Amino acid sequence: MSWMTRSLLLAFLLPGVPVGATTLHDLNDEELEAVSGREGVIVGLEMYYNAQKSATVALDGTAIGGTAGAPDGNCTGTNNACRLALQLAGREARNLDNTKIGGASTAQAVQGEWLVIKDAYFALKMPSLYLDASLMGSGTNMALSSAAAYETFFDVGRFLNSSGTCLLTDGSASGTACTTANIKNTPALAMRHAASTTSYNTTTGVSSGYDNLSLSLKIGRMAVEYDTAACTYTGGASCGYNQDTKGSFLGLHIRDNNAPFAGIAVGGKMYLYGF
C-alpha cells in the first residue's frame, strides 16, 4: 500500500477529520517524492554502430548513409567501411612448422586467416533502466522482501572462497561473518525496467509496448579472408581484414516487420552486489 493510499484510508477512518474541507493544492516536489517513494535515477542508453540515428522511424537504425567507398561511407559495395574482423589465436601467418615467419625455419609459410564481418551494422536502444541503491534485506525500497520465509534460500556456501573464508567484507582485515543478517545488510545496486503492457494486432501486424529494449542488427555478409604475402604484423591493405574476395557464407538480420528496430519487453529486477 502506498503512502498516499494509507493516508487517504486514514483520513476516511478518522472521525472528525474534515475530508475535502480544505482547498486542494498542487503537490510540491517533496510531496511528490513521498508519493512515489523514489529518488533513484533512470539511465537511457543508445548506441548506433555504423547505423544512423533518425527521427524518421523507417530510417532510424538503418545503415549509415554517406558516399560508398569513403572512409565513413555507407555499408554497401565491395570492401565498404562497415567491416569488423577477428583472427583467432593460431590462425596468424606462420610457417607450417608453427614457427614465426622470418626465422630460421625453411618450412612453407601459410597466410593468416580472418573472419570478416561485412556490410554490418547494429543499433540498440534502452530508454529507461531504473537504478536504485538498496540493502538486500530492506523492505523500504525495491529490495527483496524482509519476510523471513525468503531467508531459507540463503546458502552460506556461495559466499565462501575455496579455502572456506567468508568473502563478505566490511573493509576490515578480519572481514565479516557470512550470516543471514549480514547478507540482508549487504548494499546492492538494484536495476529494473518500467513495467510493459504489450500487445500484438494480428490483423495489422503491429505490436506495441515492446520498448524496454530495441534492437536492429544486420550482418550482410560474413567470410574467411586471407592475408596476401605482403601483409605484415603492422597491417595494411594487403591483410585479410582488408580483403573482400571470398564472398559470404552467412548473413543475419534482426528487425521488426514494420520498422528497423525490433522491440523487446523486459520484466523483473536485478540486484548487483559483490565482495
Partner 1 sequence: MKRKRVPASLSLLFIPAAALALANGPVPLDDEGLGAVSAQDGLLVDFTSGPTGVSITQIDQVLDPATANEATLRAEGLSWRAVDGSGNLGGAAHTQMRLDVGSATSSSTPTLNVAVDLDRSRIKLNNLRHGGDTGRSFGTWALDASGMLRLQTAGGLLNSAVNNTYLLGELTDATVFYRQIAHPAPYLILNDMSAKWELSRGVLGITSTGLRQATTDNSSASGAGAVDPNSLVNLALDFDLLYKNPAIGSEATEFLITGAERPMMHFGWLGSIRNMELVWKPGGVWQGTTPLAPAVTDGGASVGDVYNTAAKTQGLNFSSRWDFVSLADATALGDANKEFRWQLGEASGSGADKSRVNFELGDWVRWNPALYGHNFPLIAIDALSGQQGPGGLCWGFRYHGPTTGACGGGGGSKQFVNIQPGYVAGFTDAAVNRTDGTAKSMALMIRDGNLMSYSRRVKFLERDAAGVVDWTRDFKWGLIYTFANVDANAYVYAGGNPGDLNGGLVVDLTLMSQTFAPSDNAATGTINESLYQGFNWDHGSHLMIADTDIDKDGITGETRDAMGIGLVSSSFMVLANDMRIWVKPHAVADSFYDGGIDLMSPQTRFALSTTFGGGVLPDATGSYGTGPKVIKASLIRLNFEGLLNARLSPAAPVGGSANPCSAAVTGYNCKNYLGYSWAMRFMDTNYSAANTYGVAAFSENTTGYAGWGGSAAQLGDYGSYLSFAEPNQPNVDVRLSNITGDATLEQGVIDIVEHDQDGDNTPKLRISHTMKLGAAAGARMNDAISGRNSGANPSTALAAGGQEFRVDRVLLGPANLGRIVVPSAQIYSSLTLRPQP
How far, in Å, CA of 198 to CA of 266, rounded? 11
Q: State which residue, 64 or 266, has the beta carbon closest to partner 1.
A: 64
Residue found by looking up cell 567507398 in the block: 69
Residue found by looking up cell 540486484 in the block: 271
- Rounded to the nearest 5 degrees, what angle is found at the Cα of 241, between the Cα atoms of 238 and 242? 50
Of 6-14, 135-143, 196-204, 213-221, which segment contacts partner 1 by CB under 8 A?
135-143
Q: State which residue, 48 or 210, has the beta carbon closest to partner 1.
A: 48
For CA atoms 97, 102, 105, 109, give the dihedral sign: positive
Q: State which residue, 31 or 200, has the beta carbon closest to partner 1.
A: 31
Residue found by looking up cell 540482508 in the block: 184
Q: State which residue, 176 or 214, has the beta carbon closest to partner 1.
A: 176
Cell of residue 130, nine digits? 531504473
Q: Does the footprint of partner 1 cover residue 84 (CB under 8 A)? A: yes
From the CB of 254, what's the least distance to partner 1, in Å?
18
Q: State which residue, 33 or 155, has the beta carbon closest to partner 1.
A: 33
Q: What number of other Cβ atoms are within 10 A of residue 243's Cβ?
A: 20
Of 22, 23, 108, 161, the one binding partner 1 (CB under 8 A) is 161
Q: State which residue, 244 or 256, has the beta carbon closest to partner 1.
A: 244
* Per-residue binding letters, 30-59, with partner 1 (x by CB under 8 A): x--xx-xxxxxxxxxxxxxxxxxxxxx---
Angle, helix 29-36 to helix 3-13, in steps of 10 degrees: 100
Which amino acid, 183? I
Which amino acid, 186? T
Cell of residue 175, nine digits? 572481514
Q: Does the footprint of partner 1 cover residue 224 (CB under 8 A)? A: no
**Does residue 262 contact residue 253 with C-beta atoms inside 8 Å?**
no
Q: Does the footprint of partner 1 cover residue 223 (CB under 8 A)? A: no
Q: Does the footprint of partner 1 cover residue 100 (CB under 8 A)? A: yes
Residues 232-261 within binding reach of partner 1 (CB under 8 A) = 233, 235, 239, 241-242
From the CB of 202, what's the least distance to partner 1, in Å?
30
Size of the site for partner 1 (CB under 8 A): 77
